[in-house]
């Protein structure tokens, strides 16, 4: 069973979340307590149990592959922090 010591800095990096040093320390302590609490799930024998991903009797819901109207361009751009020529502007990704 995994230790209740989380590398908060690393996990925050995975989640693309910049934390202050104070947040790292505070959350580390708080989540450490939560993880210790979670360890109680180990008391159960789940070796013969199927996981439930979601509690409805539905799977593979599809629709016909036909073109349907979608959100108009100007609506999609309405909340854009930066836009030009009908595109979202972002900082350069590749050199």
Partner 1 sequence: MLNELSIAELTHLLGRREVSARQAVQSCLEQLERVEPQVHAFLSWDAADALAQADAADAQLAAGVAHASRPLLGVPIAVKDIIAVKGHPLTCGSRILHNFISPYDATVIERLRQAGAVLFGRLNLDEFAMGSTTENSSYGPTRNPWDLTRVPGGSSGGSAAAVAAHECVAALGSDTGGSIRQPAAFCGCVGLKPTYGRVSRYGLVAFASSLDQIGPITKTVYDAAVLLGVMAGHDPRDSTSLPAPVPNYVANLRPDIRGLKLGLAKEYMLGGLHPDVQAAVQAAVRQFEQLGAEVHEVSLPHTEYAVATYYIVATAEASANLARFDGVRYGLRVPGADPIQMYGNTRGAGFGPEVKRRIILGTYVLSKGYYDAYYLRAQKVRTLIRQDFLKAFETVDAVLTPTMPTPAFKLGEKLGDPLQMYLSDLYTLACNLAGICGLSVPCGFATVEPPEPGQPPVRLPIGLQLLGRPLGEETLLRLAYAYEQSTDWHKAKPPLVTAARPATAAAAPAKA
- In Å, the largest CA–CA distance within the chain is 58
Distance CA 30, CA 8 (A): 11
Tokens of 82: 């930066």
Show contacts with partner 1 in window 48-67 (CB under 8 A): 49-56, 58, 61, 63
Q: Cβ 34 to partner 1, closest distance in Å?
A: 5
User: In angstroms, what is the minimal distance from the CB of 65 to partner 1?
Assistant: 14
CA–CA dist 46, 2 (Å, integer): 17
Closer residue to partner 1, CB minimum distance, 15 or 67: 15
CA-to-CA distance for 51 and 36, rounded, in angstroms? 22
Q: Does 4 bind partner 1 (CB under 8 A)?
A: no
DSSP classification of residue 92: -
Tell me which residues touch partner 1 (CB under 8 A): 1-2, 6, 8, 11-12, 14-20, 23, 26-27, 30-31, 33-35, 37-38, 40-42, 44, 46, 49-56, 58, 61, 63, 71, 75-76, 78-82, 88, 90-93
């Amino acid at each position: 069973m995994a230790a209740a010591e989380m590398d908060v800095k690393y996990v925050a990096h995975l989640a693309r979340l910049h934390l202050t040093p104070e947040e790292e320390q505070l959350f580390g302590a708080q989540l450490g307590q939560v993880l210790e609490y979670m360890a109680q799930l180990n008391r159960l024998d789940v070796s013969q149990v199927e996981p439930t991903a979601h509690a409805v009797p539905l799977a593979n819901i599809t629709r016909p592959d036909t073109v349907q109207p979608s959100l108009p361009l100007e609506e999609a751009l309405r909340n854009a922090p930066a836009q030009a020529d009908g595109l979202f502007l972002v900082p350069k990704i590749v050199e």
